Structure 1
Amino acid sequence: MDRRSFLSLVPAAAAAAVARPALAAAPMAGFPAPGFHRMKLGDYELTALLDGVLPVPLADLYNNTTPEHVEEALGAAFLRSPVELSVNAFLLNTGERLVLIDAGTGSLLGPSLGRLPAALKASGYSPEQVDDIILTHIHADHSGGLVAGGEPVFPKATVHANRRDVDYWLNPANRDAAPAGKKESFVNAIASLAPYREAGRLMPFDDDAEPVPGFRTVLRPGHTPGHSAVVVDSRGEKLVLWGDITHGDVIQFDEPGIGIAFDEDSEAAAATRALAFAEAADERYLVGGAHIRFPGLGHVRRDERGYDWVPVNYSLPG
């Protein structure tokens, strides 16, 4: 093509460029979808609900280790401290009852949390439909979502919690005797449970009890005095919702002796963790963890370093 032929094409190309509609970038949405994950458990429907994520400085809060070791281990998993830990709750529909395990944080721990009601509604349910709530323990990230503005979020639900935790966290004498930095935990516990207690819908349960038919608890102490796992079976499929046995799914599986500053008794929590890992690996049941990356469901297996977390494979519920 000579210069004259080339220049003859320029006006046509320019006209085409003018005629072509401009492409305008769409604004970024800037918000996440409500988090829920659904699967079958025998005849039951299991829904994992994401309350949000909490940036946790694990390098500073893990104990029986060093910050350097924690940072190195996190780096090997492409993480760094602070790690955004999921706050998960779990909903079981048995066909007769709707049972929620843990209730999220509510407004107690910042704007990245408190999303459980939205996730619940997005999953097809409403707070008014929940019949029972079983708390693995009474920490703010498990019980704070029970109330909003002093009113119960779950107006028809009965709340069940291990008697050891109820006696510990709801005792004003323990609050008064606690160090300044810990008093807020007692204040939050009392406020979160007050409407249910006043309505006669707070039901303490004893160790290794069955507070709701088909929902058995196992005392797993250390993290709190009454910290309990919740065991559910349906048609031969077993699920253990183990609360705060771990915070994250990287370091403590390899080193169960590492505790966290949130533990009431880290030594007892470490012993409990080792027991929980061994049982889950031996029995190969499904596990739900409150602070394992969402949806927090998977299995525990042994490996050359100790234990390993294997997330569930994604599938569409039938």
Structure 2
Amino acid sequence: MVQVPSAQVPGVYHRRIGDIVVTALSDGYLDGTVEVMQNIAPADATRMLTDRFRPGRRTSVNCYLVHAAGRLALIETGSGDYLQPTVGKLQQNLKAAGVNPADIETVILTHMHPDHSAGLTNPRTGEKFFPNAELVVHENELRHWQDDGAMGRADERARTLYFQCAREQVAPYHNRTRTFADAVEVFPGVTSVPLHGHTPGHCGYMIASGGQSLLIWGDIIHVPEVQVPRPEVTMAFDTDPQQAAATRKRTFDRVATDRQLIAGMHVHFPGFAHLVRQDDGYLMLPEPWDQAFGG
């Protein structure tokens, strides 16, 4: 008797950038309402999603391994146990990719929202999920999420899910944390690209090798179906919505002009794509699956 599949295949996808191998790992997805989108009427957002065959606001959560110079880094750690049961899949996909978390020597964060940094530490035991890793993050992130005044001004949900989560997740790495302020090489072939607005220290990372490059742009977008054609649309959880929108428009212009390959934490898995201009806006073109894996 033929056995019917009962589970999806692992969320793992490899992409070569010159001599560097980038592996996309799915942490899962988050479902939410359109009401968190700003500068757009909920009915318009719903219509745009429906027109693109999306039943609602479903957000992919992606992480990326970087194999470079015989070393291994991880960009983002996913959601851990803090959010919906549809996320927190990073560890099982690391296993599927044949990667031992103890072999990851550097964990790099684009920022410290819980769908990016909440997979650093087991909140029940305080145990590091990446016991041998150095944590790398923009200095503004640590400063902001450790700011008691900013925490006091936040609502209860943000205090718990953003400030408290960030603090308890990074605490075990306090003696192995490296911060930066500008564009610097944070790992062989990986250079930070400050893209502030979504959070005070939000960054992307440019991966370059052998004349090829990939910009992992973090949270430049959360809802591709809406924010690519309407880059003025912001999110309720943007720390500075006006700056986030300006950064998005500037980044869109740059990657379209340069024909730059991008990857994003909330671009539908595996998250590799190009952006082109269309009429007065932009169109995202997901990169086709490369079965040859650069061969």
TM-score higher than 0.5? yes
Q: Distance in 1 between matches of 2:259 and 2:227?
A: 19
Q: Do 1:49 and 1:295's aligned partners in 2 also have CA atoms closer than 8 Å?
A: yes
**Residue 40 of structure 2 corresponds to residue 65 of structure 1:** yes
The 2-side partners of 1:163 and 1:120 are apart by 28
Q: Displacement, 1:219?
A: 1.1
* Corresponding residue for residue 210 of structure 2: 235
Query: Does the 8 A contact of 1:237 with 1:285 survive in 2?
Result: no
Q: State which drifts further: 273-282 or 203-212.
A: 203-212
Is the counterpart of residue 129 in structure 1 residue 127 in structure 2? no
Q: How far is 1:111 from its partner? A: 1.3
**Separation in 2, partners of 1:300, 1:314:** 17
Q: Which amino acid aligns with 1:182?
A: A
Query: Equivalent residue for 1:151?
Result: 127
The Cα RMSD (Å) is 1.5
TM-score by length of 2: 0.94
Give distance in 2, aligned partners of 1:206 and 1:213: 18
> 2:21·2:67 contact (CA, 8 Å) conserved in 1?
yes
Residues 1:180 and 1:282: Cα distance change in structure 2 (over 3 Å): same
Contact 1:34–1:115 (CA<8 Å) still a contact in 2? no
Amino acid at match of 1:191: E
Larger relative contact order (C-alpha < 8 A, sep ≥ 6)?
2
Structure 1 unmatched ranges of 5 or more = 1-23
1:170-200 CA distances to partner (integer Å, 9 max, x unpaired)? 2334323322231011000001101011xx1
Q: Which amino acid aligns with 2:82?
A: L
Structure 2: stretches of 5+ with no match in the other structure: none
- In the other structure, the counterpart of 2:83 is 109
Which amino acid in 2 is paired with 1:175?
M
User: 1:126 deviation in Å?
Assistant: 1.3
Q: Which of 300, 303, 310 is 2:278 aligned to?
A: 303
What is the distance in 2 between the residues matched to 1:255 and 1:192?
34
- From the CA coordinates, give the structure whose radius of gyration is larger: 1
1:55-204 map, 5 Å: 55-57=31-33, 59-81=34-56, 83-148=57-122, 149=124, 150-184=126-160, 185-197=162-174, 200-204=175-179
Q: 1:298 to 1:282 in 2, by over 3 A?
A: same
1:262 Cα offset (Å): 1.3
Asked if 1:268 is matched to 2:243, the reply is yes
CA-to-aligned-CA distance 1:88-134 (integer Å, 9 cap, x gap) = 01111013211111110111112111110111111121111111111
For the residue of structure 1 that corresponds to 2:223, the secondary structure is coil
State the match for 1:312 in structure 2: 287
How far did 1:147 drift? 0.9
Give me the identity figure in percent: 35
CA contact (8 A) 1:87 1:104 kept: yes
Kept in 1, the 8 Å contact 2:69–2:188? The answer is no
| TM-score, reference length from structure 1 | 0.88
Contact 1:248/1:293, CA 8 A, preserved across alignment: no
Secondary structure, counterpart of 1:186 in structure 2: helix
